[in-house]
Structure 1
Amino acid sequence: MQRHPIEAADMAAIVDGFGIDWAPLAGRTVCITGAAGFLPAYMVETMLYLNETRALGIRVLALARSRPGFERRFAHHAGRSDLVFIEQDISQPFTLDEQPDYIIHAASQASPKYYSSDPVGTLSANTLGTAALLELARRSHSRGFLYFSSSEVYGQPSRVPTAEGDYGVVDPTNVRACYAESKRMGENMCVSWHHQHGVPVKIVRPFHTYGPRMQLDDGRVYADFVAAILRGENIALKSDGLATRAFCYSADAVAGFWRVLLEGAPGAAYNIGNPDGEISMRALGQLLVGLYPEKGLTLSYVERAAGDNYMPSAVARGCPDIARAAALGWQPRTSLADGFRRTIESYL
């Protein structure tokens, strides 16, 4: 098995198209949690591609909760000596015999459907897991630690486009806050370990990100839209569709994550998103339908089914200010039409 051609092109774009200096990773051991997940898996793929094309000799310690899930995601890399799977729920106590040079903590239940069904599991990875990994970084004298936070830390943002200091209200007594509040706590843990122990932490706050291999059944609106297109079904909108979000193609976002890890300021947080990709859910549905006129699909409005666990956000508009990441030399470059077409065709 080989990478899908679209994924292979994405790897080439990440490695060669953003001017990132990969030399610091040469011969290093990188521990990454949530390794089979949508975005961290693309970071694993980046490292394996670097080994293939630049002979960097990176050793990847890939932590994931499910061996079958990991083996399905990386079936095309079976037998590689540079990819080591470690079965681990990051919210549970663990030991790691090796001392990683870099740690990327990306294990998290990011879908809103889990905020209602498993809030304890959602917050545990972002707090208990973060503390354990920061201690591992401290003991290992790691060269870099990247924490995956979220745009949800802004709550109801005080300004849109939202810069890294534009925090709004999050109600801690609302169960949906299990994600945002635990991401906030994880960030504070990072800066506290940096302040007290000198751990070289960097924080990324991804805004809405999409691309090949995203889970199409995780309950998020844009995933539902892509799944409908693939099934040849009309897109069903379960709201008035007026809320806007800024969507960033995964390869662009992953290049941003690497840029922050390798060149960002210790203790700082960086928005990673595409302000040019801001669009309403209604307009996004219309865009996707319009990409494939031969299918004859339409956009319709339906009520959510009884018992649906999805917990919608109260935020009407989400869009990042990316000036801080841009100052490092990173800019997203994929348009919505190109990105969603690539995403849909990656499943074919």
Structure 2
Amino acid sequence: MPRHAVETADMQAITAGFGLQWEKLGGKTVCITGAAGFLPSYMVESLLYLNETRQLGIRVLAMARSRAGFERRFAHHAGRPDLVCIEQDISRPFTLDEKPHYIIHAASQASPKYYSSDPVGTLSANTLGTAALLELARASGSEGFLYFSSSEVYGQPSRVPTAEDDYGVVDPTNVRACYAESKRMGENMCVSWHHQHGVPVKIVRPFHTYGPRMLLDDGRVYADFVACILRNEPIALKSDGLATRAFCYSADAVAGFWKVLLDGAPATAYNIGNPDGEISMRGLGQLLVGMYPEKGLTVSFVERKEGDVYMPSAVSRGCPDIARAAALGWQPRTSLADGFRRTIESYL
């Protein structure tokens, strides 16, 4: 099955619309961890699209925990010589025969449903995995290293919209902090390897990102909403729905990740998100049902079921200040309504 038309349009936008210096990657080997995941798979896809359209000869080492998951995700690329699957749990020791020119560490259990059910696995990829990959970059003389951090590092932010130095409180004795604290540690590992060994690290902090390929059953509220629209079911909120988040369409975010890797300053963190996409959960539910009036759907409120492992955030408002990324020449371009419409279309 070829790429979905929505994904093809996204690849065109990523590779042609943001002034990225793709020639830096020509003939290079790029290792991407978590390659079958939502956002890293789009990074893999964009490199393969560049090879198809610009013949850049990029070799992609796609590291995935499950080969079966990789093959499902990239079935439309079966047999391509420029895409190599490496089956590996990044939190366990490994060796790599090749020396990658660029490393993108995006493997992580980002869904809050894992913070309760598997906190050790959640923090391990962000710490043990990060250390192993930084050592690989050091030993390989890699030209670039991109670490996927998270807006969760801000905890309860001291200011909203939140800039890269507006840190708030994270309680390290709360098990939910397994994600935020390990992402923070991963960032410090990056700057420490840069300081001591000269590894050319860059850090991105994605805010809420949505789009084609996101798992609709991973427990995040906005994914639940999209699943409801696709199943013609009413949207059921498990809170008052007043918390706000800023949502960024995945193609815009992926272009931002590449921009930071190729043009960002070493040992520096960049927020990647869309401040114009800020909306309450209730408002997002109402927006989505309003986009499809023919379905006759509604937004309602329900109690969480007993035994629900989802661990909600205590942050009532999340919105990035993206001035630092904008100074590199990156800005998100996709409106909330257009992005969610494209997302829903991609599953049809």
Q: TM-score, normalised by structure 1?
A: 1.00
1:327-346 alignment runs, 5 A limit: 327-346=327-346
- RMSD, matched Cα: 0.3
Q: Which amino acid aligns with 1:239?
A: S
Shift of 1:271: 0.1
SS of the residue aligned with 2:313? coil
Shift of 1:307: 0.4
Shift of 1:98: 0.3
1:145-156 alignment runs, 5 A limit: 145-156=145-156
User: Distance between the aligned counterparts of 1:68 and 1:3, measured in 2?
Assistant: 19
* Aligned residue number for residue 95 of structure 1: 95
Shift of 1:7: 0.2
Shift of 1:62: 0.4
Shift of 1:146: 0.1
* Aligned residue number for residue 107 of structure 1: 107
User: Distance between the aligned counterparts of 2:138 and 2:120, measured in 1?
Assistant: 26
* Aligned residue number for residue 319 of structure 1: 319
Q: Deviations over 1:56-88 (max 9, x none)?
A: 000000000001110000000000000000000
Alignment of 1:303 with 2:303, yes or no, is yes
* Aligned residue number for residue 22 of structure 2: 22
SS of the residue aligned with 1:283? helix
* Aligned residue number for residue 48 of structure 2: 48
SS of the residue aligned with 2:261? helix
User: Distance between the aligned counterparts of 1:175 and 1:282, measured in 2?
Assistant: 27
Q: Which amino acid aligns with 2:271?
A: N
* Aligned residue number for residue 219 of structure 2: 219
User: Distance between the aligned counterparts of 1:10 and 1:144, measured in 2?
Assistant: 24
* Aligned residue number for residue 71 of structure 1: 71
* Aligned residue number for residue 248 of structure 2: 248
User: Distance between the aligned counterparts of 1:213 and 1:84, measured in 2?
Assistant: 20
Shift of 1:21: 1.2
User: Distance between the aligned counterparts of 1:96 and 1:47, measured in 2?
Assistant: 21
Q: Which amino acid aligns with 1:156?
A: Q
Q: Deviations over 1:282-301 (max 9, x none)?
A: 00000000010000000010
1:240-279 alignment runs, 5 A limit: 240-279=240-279
User: Distance between the aligned counterparts of 2:179 and 2:283, measured in 1?
Assistant: 27
SS of the residue aligned with 1:314? coil
User: Distance between the aligned counterparts of 1:127 and 1:88, measured in 2?
Assistant: 16
SS of the residue aligned with 2:171? coil
Unaligned 5+ residue runs, structure 2? none
Q: Which amino acid aligns with 2:65?
A: R
* Aligned residue number for residue 124 of structure 1: 124
Q: Deviations over 1:139-190 (max 9, x none)?
A: 0000000000000000000000000000000000000000000000000000
Runs of 4+ in 1 over 6 A off after TM superposition: none
SS of the residue aligned with 2:61? strand
Alignment of 1:202 with 2:202, yes or no, is yes
1:285-304 alignment runs, 5 A limit: 285-304=285-304
User: Distance between the aligned counterparts of 2:205 and 2:51, measured in 1?
Assistant: 27
* Aligned residue number for residue 231 of structure 1: 231
User: Distance between the aligned counterparts of 2:69 and 2:294, measured in 1?
Assistant: 35
* Aligned residue number for residue 86 of structure 2: 86
Q: Which amino acid aligns with 2:330?
A: W
User: Distance between the aligned counterparts of 2:258 and 2:23, measured in 1?
Assistant: 12
Alignment of 1:186 with 2:186, yes or no, is yes
User: Distance between the aligned counterparts of 1:197 and 1:84, measured in 2?
Assistant: 28
User: Distance between the aligned counterparts of 1:319 and 1:215, measured in 2?
Assistant: 23
Q: Deviations over 1:94-118 (max 9, x none)?
A: 0000000000000000000000000
User: Distance between the aligned counterparts of 1:21 and 1:90, measured in 2?
Assistant: 29
Q: Which amino acid aligns with 1:203?
A: I
Alignment of 1:35 with 2:61, yes or no, is no
SS of the residue aligned with 1:60? strand
User: Distance between the aligned counterparts of 1:15 and 1:155, measured in 2?
Assistant: 33
Q: Deviations over 1:200-251 (max 9, x none)?
A: 0000000000000100001000000000000000000000000000000000
Q: TM-score, normalised by structure 2?
A: 1.00
User: Distance between the aligned counterparts of 1:304 and 1:291, measured in 2?
Assistant: 26
SS of the residue aligned with 1:343? helix
Unaligned 5+ residue runs, structure 1? none
SS of the residue aligned with 2:276? helix
* Aligned residue number for residue 5 of structure 1: 5
SS of the residue aligned with 2:30? strand
* Aligned residue number for residue 165 of structure 1: 165
Q: Which amino acid aligns with 1:175?
A: V
Q: Which amino acid aligns with 1:12?
A: Q
User: Distance between the aligned counterparts of 1:39 and 1:213, measured in 2?
Assistant: 8
Shift of 1:15: 0.2
SS of the residue aligned with 2:175? coil
User: Distance between the aligned counterparts of 1:339 and 1:36, measured in 2?
Assistant: 21
User: Distance between the aligned counterparts of 1:309 and 1:215, measured in 2?
Assistant: 17
1:124-143 alignment runs, 5 A limit: 124-143=124-143
* Aligned residue number for residue 61 of structure 1: 61
Q: Deviations over 1:122-142 (max 9, x none)?
A: 000000000000000000000
Q: Which amino acid aligns with 2:169?
A: V
